Amino acid sequence: FRNYDWDYRWMDYPPQARNLKHPSDQSIATYKGHLVLRTLIRCYFSPGYSTGQKYIYTGSHDSRVTGAQVAVLKHHTSPVRDCSWHPYYPMLVSSS
């Protein structure tokens, strides 16, 4: 599999690449679950001061806000491009 054969902006993620690791990858953990297609979607850690950064949250191409440890929120009808933790309250804001 060659990395220039695929572009996330207009192609589905190739199944043969799902478990590939870069030869120089030094990650201590890998989290999977959100889908990316035709847009960049970032993952975030919850705030350290209120949750100890123990949660990961992200949008997804399948119209969900995903936080595997807690919940999958299904209220959007198009890709969730970004989300943000409220600075003072235990709530997420998402954009689609």
> What are 16-43's pLDDT values in tens digits?
777 777 788 887 777 666 666 666 777 7
Domain of residue 85, residue span = 41-96
CB burial of 49-69 (b: ≥16 within 10 Å; e: otherwise) equals eeeeeebbbbbbbebbbbbee
3-state secondary structure (DSSP) of residue 79: coil
Domain annotation covers residue 27 = no
**Residue 68 domain-assigned (yes or no):** yes
Residue 78 pLDDT level (bands cut at 50, 70, 90): confident
Based on the structure, what is the number of domains in the chain? Answer: 1
Cβ pair 14, 6 in contact under 8 A:
yes
d(CA 78, CA 35): 12
The answer as to whether 7 is a domain residue is no
55 domain-assigned: yes
Q: pLDDT per residue over 42-63, tens digit each?
A: 778 888 888 888 888 877 766 6
Kindly report whether the global pTM for this prediction surpasses the value 0.85.
no
Look at residue 41 in the predicted model and tell me its pLDDT: 75
Is 77 a domain residue?
Answer: yes
**Rounded Cα distance, 32 and 43, in Å:** 10
With a pLDDT cut of 70, the percent of the chain lying above it is: 70
